[in-house]
Structure 1
Amino acid sequence: MTLKKFINKPENITAELLEGLALANPFILEVMPNNLVVSKSLRTANRVTIVTLGGSGHEPALEGFVGEGMIDVAVVGDVFAAPGYKAVFEALQLADKGKGVLLVVLNHAGDMLAATRTMEEAHKAGIKVSMVVTREDVAYAPRSDADRRRGLVGCVPLYKIVGAAAAQGKSLHEITAIAQDFADNMATIAVACKTATHPQNGSAFSVLGTDQMEIGMGQHGEGGGDRQKMKSADETAVKMSDLLIADLNLCAGEKIMVIVNGTGATTIMEMLIIFRCVHKHLKAKGIMIVANWVEEVLTVQEQAGFQLFFARMDAQNLWYWNAPARTPYLVR
């Protein structure tokens, strides 16, 4: 099949996108062998460091958030594929500055397999490391069965919060507790109205009719189980918001972060219309938005749709969220 994409050889996609990322951001990061994307600030780090892993194909995440105040090392696998544990172990060795390393992992089978094996090897080697898993997809399993929940866009604000806590000099124990508390108080639901294709072979992830959308989509185009006729922006936003409110048991007076994350082929126009409705819907319920992000953060190639993310925010996490950072796709 001839792919209508601006690529060269399909097998070189990951290597070439990482080379381009490094060339575009020479003062922020560098790419090392085994697809390790490393923050230039790691050289002088005297603090807890942050490592993550995952497949390519979700740009700007995950490697686009490597830099000061967020990720120190991202281990990048092939398109939608987890990297091998040896590369992740190498990343932990590189990141270890004597203060400890936090490994942030999205709950997907390949990522978890690599991370679990890496943790075993790290403990044998005497590396001080802890692991936090993001599993906030409300569509896949109830909160009581969180081990089965998939990780979606929630990993990215978590990187920002733990990166700021590390920059402040918090211990590994403290940062792990901050990360776990944030992870336990976030929820995401996704919707798509047009499927994506795999950039290496052109195969479609699923088939949606011209008048259909599906709520509950996964990070790799997996079906969500709630296929229905296409709804308006307001109808979709209200339904998805209510699922997150119920999952988090949000009440009037609470303060939250909201992210509308475009998954690749959704315009800013659409995302802002969605955010407008979410804002009004939450305000009517007495729930206050104290932080927000409306952008493509973690994509699924050219899938048309978005992920809606809510998380409780206290004063400490809000401070961390607003703390300085410098990465290719988030500067504040």
Structure 2
Amino acid sequence: MGTMYLLGVKRLVNLLNPERIVPQTSVISVNIDREQIEEIRKTKGIYVRTFEKKINLSKSRYYRWLNYEIDLPMEYLVSITKLLGLSSIEFKDLFVNSTDELIQLLSLTIDVSFRTTELEKETFTTICSELEKFRASKEDTQLYQLILIFCDLVKSIQDKREDSQVNYHINRIESYLAKSEYLTLYDMVLYLGLMKVKEYYRLPITYVEENMDSFCRTLLAKIKPNRLVEGRSFILGSIIDLSMLLASRFDSKTAFQFLVQAKEKIVHSWKVTSRDLELLECALVLHDQHDQNHTQRIQEAVANIHNRRIFEEYSDEEEIMMAFLMGSI
């Protein structure tokens, strides 16, 4: 079995839910599909500054809203959709279950699902119990039900149940992902979680792996100069995760090529921290199988991280990269 780490998901948990508290699921609020609004705006060629001129919504405030940093009053949402030329029916179709609690819950579920500590075991059990009420729900609770299905999948694998039962849970999640024309943050986290579970337990390749090229393009498209720092953190971590999955499921050459392309976009689009650059470089070293000094470079990378563990602050992200590196030599 591979190493059970997802750097992007761990970063998301550290950002949105650092106390690792199971979010409340008793109230299902609604939100507007922000990513879809942005796609419509781009398709129609409407500049963000139009919002400032017409409805006094600044560019910075719009992008903070787009990146789930703030909420906007309903009158702004109505005005935006009018500027986009949407009908009342199209406006209604943009409303979805609020993703804030969902993303917190999904990312935490994936992060603790392999239960290496007693606290993680307790948290996973609490999540399963909290979600049980959605199992037979006929309301619009599909996104909560998908997290419950993910829990069922992990338990089915770890309890060594029939392959047909494991495949049933995988098929249900993949059916949802296959119908998602535009991958939201929730979808991307679920996609990564499912791929990692299947890779970790060496399950057969199915839809999610067969469509990894499309997922790679989606992640690369998320590397944009206007993306907030918090969003960049998740995307960069997920790019490293995806490169590891590509190497494990297919080959190191594919992973290396993807990572080179991603790094080029990242350094041209964002101001990257020295720690993130080091993580990218470590991943590139790991995948560059054609380097004659491959093993030596990995050992040097391990030594650099190990030295920082002794003399400086040592983060769980470096622990993750150390595990990746050590697992390759």
Regarding TM over 0.5, the answer is: no
TM-score, normalization: structure 1?
0.27
More strand by share: 1
- Greater RCO structure (CA 8 Å; 6+ sep): 2
Question: Which has the higher Rg, Structure 1 or Structure 2?
Answer: 2
TM-score, normalization: structure 2?
0.27
More helix by share: 2
